Amino acid sequence: MRRSSRTPFLVLAAAGLFVAACSGGDSITDTGATNAPQSTSADGSTPPETLAPTTSVAPDTLPACDTAALADVTGTVDLTFWHGMSGPLGEELDALAAAYNASQSTVKVSLVSGSYEETYDKYLNSSQASRPDMVQLPEYTVQGIVDTESVVPVGKCMEDAAFDMTPFLPTALAAYQTQGVQWSMPFNVSNPVLFFNKKVFEAAGLDPASPPQSLEDLRAYAQQIVDSGAAKYGIALDSGFDSGGGWYVEQWFAKAQEFYVDGDNGRTNRATRVLYNNDTGVELLTFLQDMINDGLAVNVGDNSGTGYDNLLKLADEQQPAAMTIATSASLGPVLATLGSGQFPQITGDDVGVGPMPGPNGAPGALIGGASLWIVNHDDPVKAAAVWDFITFLVSAESQSQWAAATGYIPVRDDAADVEPYASTLAADPRFGVALAQLEASPEGLTSAGPVVGPLREIRSVLAVAVAAILDGADVKASLDDAAQQANNLIADYNARNS
């Protein structure tokens, strides 16, 4: 989930976009994603052979992690943990921390909450001495935190402890890696899924058990829904920077197995330019615009009014949409809200969940959510204590409890066999859709998503362009302008952090 302070649908953050369709040709809607991805510059040319500096310092210069440093501690090690959870999510994290504190007497964890953005900005603007011992930050912060040179990579702790990473989702781990360094530990994981009204599907003659898998399917379903009169619109789109206007464009590029920024998505070399104004980006945004123009989709704007305007269109009595795409982490809150009876025209049982449709039904998705970072205070005991707490939070038992209570995806697949999450999956398979989607992600750096310093700001710039495109602006010109702004942001960031 991307925002953590939304109510009453609770935290329906990264709600979003995505849709489209088209007809014929070698388009992203009807071609597979089997070709090896190639890095190209924003103008479509091949990048120079001499690439910019790597995204991380050499592994042999990284801070060490002595996980055995706690063994001889006689007193209590006090840890401060900054995190981005609030409301019911914050309460569940508090419960996990309390359980950890009660389970042993060596380490005591104190939590300090704020939104993701507040926590990130506070961290960047703090001196090293005033920073916490541990911090939870979202995926768009990877390059920014790496460049502070202020953390102990969790990979160093994994190596020192010979920690078994076999059960962990490779895609979740890869999101927080550059140059082979595992910088942080994924904790709360989500990805975009398709939400749809099963009653509308049935009224339109569609099978709710077979939601659309490809972009062509999505358009065909939307057309049939509108033509049948089952709903005013086939799908609700938005232009939020953390959903339809930004984050989801990254998803589409990953599904097409294309890089979003150069330098192999910034994973092997520092990114210097965005690539979203290439043919794939133009085609995708043209399709979205066509969906609006053809009356198959409705644009709800940037979701800034409520944070879940697109989801509310499924419950709109006057001009409903049959489908939308939103973060998988919103499933639990959505079902809880619909179960309260606030929207009698649609119940929790009426909500279907499917994978996010992709090019030719391409599987997989980038992860959302956040990870856990060990802050370097040149104190081996503190680092070992943080590592001990992290291993508690990502244990199969803790991840099972967290996933069942919040709707997030567990970061390890064996949590699905542990109660209470095992019963949650058995009782409601909808909670397993996002997990299966992540497990189906193809290997490769395109599936890890972009790493670039000002990614948060880049999303905001693109969101403005997407909003204009959905309102009828020229697609290529809008993307080119956004790309130029984004590239200027990257150049400025790299100049300050070289």
- Give the pLDDT band of residue 479 (cuts 50, 70, 90): very high
User: What are the residues whose beta carbons fall under 8 Å from the beta carbon of 93, sequence distance 6 or more?
Assistant: 83, 85, 111
Q: Are 278 and 324 part of one and the same domain?
A: yes
- Structural domain total, the chain: 2
246-277 tens-digit pLDDT: 999 999 999 999 999 999 999 989 999 999 99
What's the longest Cα–Cα distance across the chain?
A: 72
Q: Are 232 and 277 part of one and the same domain?
A: yes
- For the cut 90, the answer to whether the pLDDT of residue 9 exceeds it is no
**Per-residue confidence (pLDDT) for residue 497, from 0 to 100:** 92
String of DSSP letters for 178-218: ETTEE-SEEEEEE-EEEEEEHHHHHHTT--TTS---BHHHH
Looking at 33-87, which runs of residues are DSSP E strands?
77-83
CA proximity to 34, closest of 263, 417, 363: 363
Q: Is 48 exposed, middle or buried (0-12, 13-18, 19+ CB in 10 A)?
A: exposed
121 falls within a domain: yes
Bridging pattern class, strands 77-83 and 134-138: parallel
- End position of a domain, from candidates 439, 460, 483: 439
Structure-block tokens of residue 394: 């990502």
- Give the H/E segment covering residue 16: none
DSSP alpha helix (H) spans, 36-86: none
354-382 average pLDDT score: 94
Specify the length of the chain in residues: 498
d(CA 157, CA 65): 5
**Per-residue confidence (pLDDT) for residue 349, from 0 to 100:** 96
85-106 average pLDDT score: 96
Q: Are 161 and 218 part of one and the same domain?
A: no
- Give the pLDDT band of residue 202 (cuts 50, 70, 90): very high
100 falls within a domain: yes
268 falls within a domain: yes
* Residue span of the structural domain in which 113 resides: 64-190+366-439
Structure-block tokens of residue 130: 């005033």
- Give the H/E segment covering residue 375: strand 368-375
**Per-residue confidence (pLDDT) for residue 333, from 0 to 100:** 86
- For the cut 80, the answer to whether the pLDDT of residue 474 exceeds it is yes
Q: Which single residue is written with the structure tokens 């206007």?
A: 245
- Give the pLDDT band of residue 23 (cuts 50, 70, 90): very low
- Give the pLDDT band of residue 382 (cuts 50, 70, 90): very high
- For the cut 90, the answer to whether the pLDDT of residue 49 exceeds it is no
113 backbone dihedrals φ, ψ, rounded to 5°: -105, 155
- For the cut 50, the answer to whether the pLDDT of residue 11 exceeds it is no
Q: Are 108 and 177 part of one and the same domain?
A: yes
Q: Are 146 and 206 part of one and the same domain?
A: no
**Per-residue confidence (pLDDT) for residue 261, from 0 to 100:** 98
179-208 average pLDDT score: 97
- For the cut 60, the answer to whether the pLDDT of residue 16 exceeds it is no
Cα end-to-end distance, the chain, whole Å:
31
Q: Are 203 and 349 part of one and the same domain?
A: yes
**Per-residue confidence (pLDDT) for residue 223, from 0 to 100:** 99
**Per-residue confidence (pLDDT) for residue 303, from 0 to 100:** 85
- For the cut 50, the answer to whether the pLDDT of residue 359 exceeds it is yes
d(CA 58, CA 54): 9
Q: Select the more confidently predicted residue: 496 or 51.
A: 496
Across the chain, mean pLDDT equals 88
**Per-residue confidence (pLDDT) for residue 61, from 0 to 100:** 85
CA proximity to 192, closest of 2, 34, 423, 4: 2
262 falls within a domain: yes
d(CA 93, CA 188): 10
User: What DSSP designation does 53 have?
Assistant: P
346 falls within a domain: yes
Percent of the residues in the chain that have a pLDDT greater than 70, as a whole number: 88
**Per-residue confidence (pLDDT) for residue 305, from 0 to 100:** 63
Q: How far is CA 178 from CA 56, 181, 270, 489, in A?
A: 7, 5, 10, 21
Q: Are 276 and 164 part of one and the same domain?
A: no
- Give the pLDDT band of residue 308 (cuts 50, 70, 90): confident
**Per-residue confidence (pLDDT) for residue 112, from 0 to 100:** 98
- Give the pLDDT band of residue 60 (cuts 50, 70, 90): low
Q: Are 120 and 179 part of one and the same domain?
A: yes
151 falls within a domain: yes
Structure-block tokens of residue 248: 């989801």
CATH number at residue 177: 3.40.190.10
d(CA 10, CA 37): 38
159-167 average pLDDT score: 97
Q: Are 177 and 199 part of one and the same domain?
A: no
- For the cut 50, the answer to whether the pLDDT of residue 42 exceeds it is no
103-137 tens-digit pLDDT: 999 999 999 999 999 999 999 999 999 999 999 99
382-405 average pLDDT score: 98
Percent of the residues in the chain that have a pLDDT greater than 90, as a whole number: 80
DSSP alpha helix (H) spans, 70-168: 87-103, 116-124, 142-148, 154-161
Tell me the helix, strand and coil percentages in the chain, rounded to 5: 45, 15, 40
- Give the pLDDT band of residue 15 (cuts 50, 70, 90): very low
Q: Are 88 and 178 part of one and the same domain?
A: yes
4 falls within a domain: no
Q: Are 313 and 293 part of one and the same domain?
A: yes
Q: Are 168 and 262 part of one and the same domain?
A: no
**Per-residue confidence (pLDDT) for residue 45, from 0 to 100:** 36
- Give the pLDDT band of residue 485 (cuts 50, 70, 90): very high
Q: What angle do CA 136, 138, 141 make, to 5 degrees?
A: 105
- For the cut 90, the answer to whether the pLDDT of residue 13 exceeds it is no
Half-sphere exposure of 284 (CA within 13 A, CB side): 28
- Helix or strand or coil: residue 233? strand
9 falls within a domain: no
**Per-residue confidence (pLDDT) for residue 306, from 0 to 100:** 67
